[in-house]
Amino acid sequence: MAEKAKIAVLVSGGGTNLQALIDAERSGIIDSGEIVLVISNNEGAYALERAEKAGIEAHAVTKRAHGGQAGFEAAVRELLDSKGIDLIVLAGFLSILSEDFVKHYDHRIINIHPALIPSFCGPGYYGLKPHIAALERGVKVTGATVHYVNEIADGGEIISQKAVYIQDGDTPETLQRRVMEEAEWIILPQAVADICRGIVGA
């Protein structure tokens, strides 16, 4: 077996998508990659605890501690490069990365977005907001999208999508949960698995 691709996961909150990735690695879905680093821009993120429980090196890196965006990104890059990271996964990471940062890791950063891009995406559409927008618009189908990250928010090449039907009586919270369970936690690990196989085989 060739050496596994090294994965870093960037998080801001509870880390449910991180957990889906950890579970997928343990179950063998992600067979050519290994999560070796978790970075959060939020010192209080539960995702850091999830990482530590799974035996994964975890760091909190904040803009405040590093004097703003440039210092923050420099610290993140130092961690990523020290580990020889092949693939960066944004899993509920709520900080916009600069064009310079994204270009440095061209086609090595992917993101999971809780809507079917190009619907309900771009600046300001994070957390519950895409689900609120979908319900307000009255769409019958929403879902999730895995895409490469470029300098445009949610503007990178789409890797995969999965649809989720909206049900009568859905609230933003129930819809968010169902999109996670029926779409995000399925297509994100699968995309990571596929990309890592490509990296290892390249």
Task: Please pick, among 66, 104, 107, 113, the residue that the annotation labels catalytic.
Answer: 113
List b or e across 62-78, with b for residues whose CB sees 16 or more CB atoms inside 10 angstroms: eeeeeeeeeebbebbee
Amino acid (one-letter) located at 79: L
Residue 100 CB neighbours (<10 A)? 11
Return the half-sphere exposure (C-beta side, CA atoms, 13 A cut-off) of residue 28. Answer: 0
Q: What is the DSSP letter of 98?
A: P
Note whether 28 and 61 are within 8 A (CB): no
Structure tokens at 145: 């999208």
Note whether 127 and 154 are within 8 A (CB): no
Q: Give the integer Cα–Cα distance in Å for 115 and 139.
A: 11
CA distances from 103 to 69, 97, 131, 152, 165 (A): 16, 10, 30, 11, 35
Q: Give the integer Cα–Cα distance in Å for 112 and 159.
A: 10
Q: Is 147 a catalytic residue?
A: no
> What residues act catalytically?
113
